Structure 1
Amino acid sequence: MTACVPVAEDVAWVRVEESAQVGRARRVATALAERLAFGDARVAEIGLAVTELGTNLHKHTSGGHLVVRALRADDRAAVEVVAVDRGPGIPDMARAMLDGESTTGTLGIGLGVVARSADLLDVSTRRDRGTVLAARFHRRERGVPDFRAESSSAGLTRPIADEEVCGDAYAVRRVGDRLWVMMCDGSGHGPLAASASREAVRIFCDDEPSAPEAVVAKLHAGLRGTRGGAVAVAVLDPARNRIRYSGLGNIAGAVLSDGRKRTMVSVPGIAGYQARTIHAFDHELPPGAVVVLHSDGLTERWGPEDVAGISSPLLLAATLVRDAGVRKDDASALVVAT
């Protein structure tokens, strides 16, 4: 039996360096909420929360980003806003949540307004390294469940500078008690790379999965005629404490457990163009392990100490994109907590 996993769409990365950009982020978020059929009162709440988050970025940091995302599954929808910065961190989170508290001249109403209007609020902050905050806003319709019980996986994509769309994409499926994940890094960047990645997502979601290497072979065949790209497919089997992983090209895979990072193996090639061989490898998946897949827009020179203490998959993915996404390329990270 295949279960629906919420699909995230990264609508916009808005850099906030001046007050006018706060207004742009608010307009992007409220327009998305209206497109998702949110009521007027809820749209206004989201606009106020984004204004507070953007003003905090503008006042506290030399330049951060607000990421506006749509989350969908069946008849459910949510707006997610992720604030990412490299500022001084928040020294006193409890105080920051109090209305009227401001230590550096922020909007003055604190993060309390965000906490009250958001259905889910997660924060990771480190002194002198920055803060990542994720706020999720549901439509709050009667009889329609939200996504709070479905947060074991999350990904984030960021387009290369000056591009509107990211050439990377990922997908997650739950089949019985196993979780299947896929990532594609479309060759190059821009709309054509994004088109190849979207086709990979379609093939992966329409396929009846048998083995990761078989899915990679189908992706290789199905991406002919597109720009192609690097792909990786993994199936997580927590009941057996195993993960089977098949990668073609430069998607990086790792298992984080007990303070260690264990790298998973991909073989050279480009799906849609060149695949001399396609292999799958079995790796141990200890209880409580975290699985990370990311494109080569992120350097692999990060370790478990860089994300220690971050339990939220979305915050962990955003932290990796912020800190390891130093290459001039599209960047994406997918995180699964077991």
Structure 2
Amino acid sequence: NPRMRDEVETLSESRLDVGVSKRSLASGQECGDACLVKAGPSSTLLAVADGIGHGPEAAAAAQTAIDVLSRHATAPLEWLMDRCHLAVRELRGLTMGIARIVTGESSITWLGVGNVQGVLLHAAGGTAETRESLRVGSGLVGYRLTPLQPVTRPFRRGDLLLMATDGLTRDFGEIAITPSSAQEIADRVMERYRTGQDDALVLATWRLRDRS
């Protein structure tokens, strides 16, 4: 897939390592959680979407929102959330978290609605020690949105962003981070913190340190 190769190359240039782990509630059933990693010339858009419930109808709502984000990846986050809200009105509602990383500014901007979770782990002394839970607004995309205000935080070399749906326990951000890959971190979070009561998805994004 040439487009995927282009995005992987751009992520490499931005020194971002990304991993995702996803599980359906029932084996063989379509997962109602979806995610996006969309690399652009100056920023990378990340998202997790959780369709209400589980199964094909939840998956359709989540994927519809992801498709909207993919088509308009450079738009402001508030506009993207509103656009997704309109797109899924005739489908099941969903909860969603969106993040934009601008490595040139060492920043991340986040906007979340519902029971998705975002946790920033800021590197200190070679390990990610300072943890920050990102604020999530109330409401349900497709049904009711409250006024939303994105937040911007530093995202420096060595920092890690974890985004997850409510199929993970709320303490997943407390995982001990050891030198590994973003995929290994995502897999470990899924293994240790999955509730087993809903579909589950975790997206890990690590801003790599400069090559020595």
Question: What TM-score bracket applies, with the shorter chain setting the length?
Answer: 0.7 to 0.9
Within 2, Cα distance between the matches of 1:239 and 1:207? 21
Determine if contact 2:24/2:31 at 8 Å carries over to the other structure.
yes
The 5 A counterparts of 1:42-191 are: 73=5, 152-162=17-27, 164-191=29-56
SS of the equivalent of 1:239 reads: helix
Determine if contact 2:161/2:204 at 8 Å carries over to the other structure.
yes
Deviation at 1:298, TM superposition (A): 0.3
Deviation at 1:149, TM superposition (A): 5.2
Within 1, Cα distance between the matches of 2:200 and 2:40? 27
- Tell me the number of residue pairs that the alignment of Structure 1 and Structure 2 aligns: 198
Does 2:81 align with 1:216? Answer: yes
Amino acid of the structure 1 residue aligned with 2:42: D
Quick one: which of 89, 111, 115 aligns to 1:246?
A: 111
Deviation at 1:209, TM superposition (A): 2.1
Deviation sequence 1:158-183 (CA, Å, 0-9, x none): 00034521100001111213111011
Quick one: which of 177, 180, 200 aligns to 1:308?
A: 177
Quick one: which of 198, 202, 227 aligns to 2:67?
A: 202
Quick one: which of 170, 187, 198 aligns to 1:329?
A: 198
Deviation at 1:207, TM superposition (A): 1.4
Change beyond 3 A, Cα 1:303–1:207: closer
Determine if contact 2:38/2:73 at 8 Å carries over to the other structure.
no
Within 2, Cα distance between the matches of 1:217 and 1:310? 38
Deviation sequence 1:92-144 (CA, Å, 0-9, x none): xxxxxxxxxxxxxxxxxxxxxxxxxxxxxxxxxxxxxxxxxxxxxxxxxxxxx
Amino acid of the structure 1 residue aligned with 2:95: A
Determine if contact 1:298/1:331 at 8 Å carries over to the other structure.
yes
Does 2:134 align with 1:264? Answer: yes
Deviation at 1:233, TM superposition (A): 0.9
Deviation at 1:282, TM superposition (A): 1.2
Within 1, Cα distance between the matches of 2:196 and 2:139? 21
Within 1, Cα distance between the matches of 2:171 and 2:192? 10
Within 1, Cα distance between the matches of 2:28 and 2:151? 35
Within 2, Cα distance between the matches of 1:162 and 1:271? 27
Normalised TM-score (structure 2): 0.85
Percent identity over the alignment is 24
Deviation sequence 1:236-282 (CA, Å, 0-9, x none): 11222211101111110111123121111110111111102222111
Change beyond 3 A, Cα 1:165–1:310: farther
SS of the equivalent of 1:266 reads: coil
Amino acid of the structure 2 residue aligned with 1:220: H
Amino acid of the structure 2 residue aligned with 1:326: T
Within 2, Cα distance between the matches of 1:313 and 1:171? 15
RMSD across aligned positions (CA): 2.4
Amino acid of the structure 2 residue aligned with 1:275: L
Amino acid of the structure 2 residue aligned with 1:160: L
Determine if contact 2:37/2:45 at 8 Å carries over to the other structure.
yes
Equivalent residue, structure 1, for 2:210 = none
Determine if contact 2:162/2:173 at 8 Å carries over to the other structure.
no
Q: Report 1 or 2 for greater relative contact order, CA contacts < 8 Å, sequence distance ≥ 6.
A: 2
Normalised TM-score (structure 1): 0.55
Which deviates the most, 282-291 or 306-315? Answer: 306-315
Which deviates the most, 281-290 or 313-322? Answer: 281-290
Does 2:164 align with 1:294? Answer: yes
Within 1, Cα distance between the matches of 2:96 and 2:202? 13
Determine if contact 1:163/1:190 at 8 Å carries over to the other structure.
no
SS of the equivalent of 2:67 reads: helix
Q: Which runs of 4+ in 1 moved over 2 A?
A: 148-151
Determine if contact 1:213/1:233 at 8 Å carries over to the other structure.
no
